[in-house]
Homo-oligomer: A and B are copies of this chain.
Amino acid sequence: MSIRDVAEQVGVSIATVSRAFNAPDQVAPETRRRVMQAATQLGYVPNSSAQTLRRQFSKVLGVVLPTLLNPVFAECLDGIAQMAAANGYSIVPMTTDYQLAGEEAAVNRLLAYSVDGMILVVSNPQTSQELVKLQARSLPYVLLYNRHADHPCVSVDCEGAMGQLIHRLAGMGHSRIAMVSGQLAASDRSQQRYRGYVNGMRECGLDAYDLVEVPFMDAVVSRLAQFLGAARRPSALVCSNDLLAIRCLRAAHVAGLEVPRDLTVVGFDGIELGRDLTPVLSTIAQPNREIGRRGVQLIVQALGKGRTLDPAASLTLSHEFHEGESCAPAAS
């Protein structure tokens, strides 16, 4: 059922039907009524492929995320969806599973869909070919969580945040502080957080541990429990994300340690679930929904001006340390 069917049913031209939808005030009230009724009755919905083809925009924003299995991104997407809806945009989320090939596939597909703009979390803004592709087409885009001087980004200063955290822990008497992360190569955030850790440790005059890199989430608990059982085990663990921190909590238990008495654990992200765990997860909380919202806002603004987004429009939102219960002064 296309616009034709509605037109025939009402006995009017297709132009009138189109107008009834797009410029209701240009059509006689009675005609409009009959058109709308027929449309409802037939279950007519304007075909957006045709619309997109004819207009030269789609009112759709593409969203590229690593995964939705990490609540950080699910929360962020929630914010994106909210703000997009509020501005009359639809979103099409795609997932890359932290793979470069996934990023390329997602971007290409979204380009084919003629999205009006794109919001993405990439692995490495510096080397991403996809971003070049977007620039070449002058398609407005914004990065979330990523930070890079050459691209418009919405993020928090995670390097600084991690540095502050080290200072705080040092202030609580911790000196044996280790850092746990996922695959470092898969995320510039982890790299920045690690830099923050290294710098923080240096500033505090402490010896940094080698990074504990746990590429696969399923083996992480046993791997960590083993680490925690070793000699000169750390008294505090900082994690590059909350999901990892939760596994550290478990690993500590498996290793016979009690948190926070025997081990302090701090995460990064501020996922909502962390607040309802026991112990409540200490974490550096990012405003995940707000990051999503602001990203959309920037894109919508750019779209309004018919412009692409300037890297100078980048936003650094503020993070917040959530004290939680997984964090305590070092035993003296």
Are the CB atoms of A74 and B68 closer together than 8 Å?
yes
Are the CB atoms of B71 and A90 closer together than 8 Å?
no
Q: Which of A39-47, A140-148, A149-157, A188-196 contacts B (4 or more CB under 8 A)?
A: A39-47
User: Chain A contact residues (Cβ within 8 angstroms of B): what range?
Assistant: 35 or more
Q: Is A92 an interface residue (CB 8 A)?
A: yes
Q: Is A221 an interface residue (CB 8 A)?
A: yes
Q: Is A133 an interface residue (CB 8 A)?
A: yes
Q: Is A49 an interface residue (CB 8 A)?
A: yes
Q: Is A52 an interface residue (CB 8 A)?
A: yes
Interface residues of A in 104-136 (CB under 8 A from B): 108-109, 111-114, 133, 136
Question: Contacts A45-B111, A74-B69, A112-B47 known; A250 to B278 CB distance under 8 Å?
Answer: yes
Q: Which residue of B lies closest to A54 (CB)?
A: B49
Q: Is A93 an interface residue (CB 8 A)?
A: yes
Q: Is A78 an interface residue (CB 8 A)?
A: yes
B residues less than 8 Å from A90 (CB atoms): 109
Considering the chains assembled together, what is the distance between the CA atoms of A108 and B46 in angstroms?
A: 10
Q: Which of B45, B95, B249 contacts A108 (CB 8 A)?
A: B45
Are the CB atoms of A114 and B49 closer together than 8 Å?
yes
**How far, in Å, is A97 (CB) from chain B's closest CB?**
9
